[in-house]
Amino acid sequence: MSPKEGGALARKRYSSKQTASSPTSAKQEEEMKNHQNLIRNISSADNIKNKRKKKKKQNKAKPKRYGLMSYWELPEYMKDNEFILNYYRADWPLAEAFFSVFRWHNETLNVWTHFIGFVLFLGLTMANLLEVPQVADLLAFFSRSTPISAVTNVSHDFISGMTTNLTDLKQMTSQDMEFASSVASPEMGVTYWPFYVFLAGSMFCLLSSTICHLFSCHSHPLNLMLLRIDYAGITTMIITSFFPPIYYIFQCDSRWQFIYLGGITVMGIFTIVTLLSPKLSSSEFRTFRALLFASMGLFGIIPAIHASVVNWGNPKRNLTLMFEAAMAFFYLTGTGFYVTRIPERWRPGWFDLAGHSHQIFHVLVVLGALAHYGAILVMLDWRNSFGCDSN
């Protein structure tokens, strides 16, 4: 073989080797590209995951702010007053509902009016338990604003005046003389448990109302349960309001204590059992509920007339009746606002945040309870001075 032919054969072999190895190189390059793409995809997926995690952490660190809604956006169970159009809370978590006490919505003043009332009655209870008369005796406040101090001190002023001016004796009626002589010697001491029963009932009513208005936006089951507790609180306050006046006025006749206190307690139990029905808790039975509560309150007219007749000659009778008349005025006026939904009925949307009927109702309930507290102080002062006839 010539050198020329040998070189040609070598070139041919080299060329065939190159041709045989070229598919392998292309395949390797393709695999490398696929590998690089896979790495890129994995890293990009990791980046996306990291971004999502970071976003979740940021969302956790920044709590969600729940918004207020209109009446038409509410779930059916929360539609109670169609004349209040905006600023509702609905389906809020409990924590968010709790902290909404510091936010402005259409329940803010409902919560605060009765919470302040609860704190006020808690303070009065503690003041009486700790015997702090400057705080507990609201009569001092009322005597500065109304001319009733002369009435509260009739017997004291009369006795002191009798020693200096005998002509005062002529001004005494035979009834005054008979009353003074019949109760001058106390036979039994005064017990305070009816007074504290009233204070406890008032605090329960005001606190249950506060909790109901604050947390009823959480869910339908909780809303229904809190409404029942709220109605039970109102009923309890009405029942316990009867205990001090009936107990102290009829302290010398246990028959009437039993009849009147037993009667109002039975009415209260009937009211609570009736209002346990979910149907009767709905807004369409607003008037029926108001009539139940009003009928319990109006039951007090009977013992009030009886007490007025029995204590006709009592110089503190008129003062007590004045306080109780104020209580009746506040409660009945508040019930009127509750039923009629005035003023928001006249201007829907104008009183969404402040000034609507339920807020006015709350304020009048607290004022009524304070008026009753004043009446009880007069009764306690009377019973501490005069007991039952020793005969």
> 191-215, pLDDT tens digit by residue?
899 999 999 999 999 999 999 999 9
Band of pLDDT at residue 331, cut at 50, 70 and 90: very high
Binding-site positions for Zn(2+): 213, 358, 362
Band of pLDDT at residue 190, cut at 50, 70 and 90: confident
Exposure string for 10-22, b = 16+ CB within 10 A, e = fewer:
eeeeeeeeeeeee
Q: What span, in angstroms and rounded, lies between the C-alpha atoms of 291 and 280?
A: 12
Exposure string for 346-379, b = 16+ CB within 10 A, e = fewer:
eeeeebbbeebbbbbbbbbbbbbbbbbbbbbbbb
* Stretch 101-107: mean pLDDT: 96
Amino acid 180: pLDDT:
34
Amino acid 95: pLDDT:
95
Nearest alpha-carbon partner for 154 in 382, 323, 324? 382
Binding-site positions: 213, 358, 362
From the CB of residue 204, how many other CB atoms can be counted at a distance below 10 Å?
19
pLDDT of residue 139 exceeding 70, the answer is no
- The percent of residues above 90 in pLDDT, for the chain, comes to 49
- The residue whose two tokens read 């307690």 is 265
* Stretch 134-155: mean pLDDT: 48
Amino acid 59: pLDDT:
55
> 156-166, pLDDT tens digit by residue?
443 343 334 32
From the CB of residue 228, how many other CB atoms can be counted at a distance below 10 Å?
19
Amino acid 121: pLDDT:
97
Amino acid 45: pLDDT:
63
pLDDT of residue 62 exceeding 60, the answer is no
> 209-242, pLDDT tens digit by residue?
999 999 999 999 999 999 999 999 999 999 999 9
* Burial category of 387 from C-beta neighbours within 10 Å (exposed 0-12, middle 13-18, buried 19 and up): middle
Amino acid 152: pLDDT:
39
Give every CB contact of residue 314 below 8 A, 6+ residues apart in sequence.
179, 382
Kindly report which listed range (22-26, 127-131, 268-272, 356-360) carries the lowest average pLDDT score: 22-26
Amino acid 146: pLDDT:
45
Can you give the pTM of this predicted structure?
0.71
Which 8-state DSSP code applies to residue 41?
H
Based on C-alpha coordinates, what's the Rg of the chain? 40
pLDDT of residue 298 exceeding 90, the answer is no
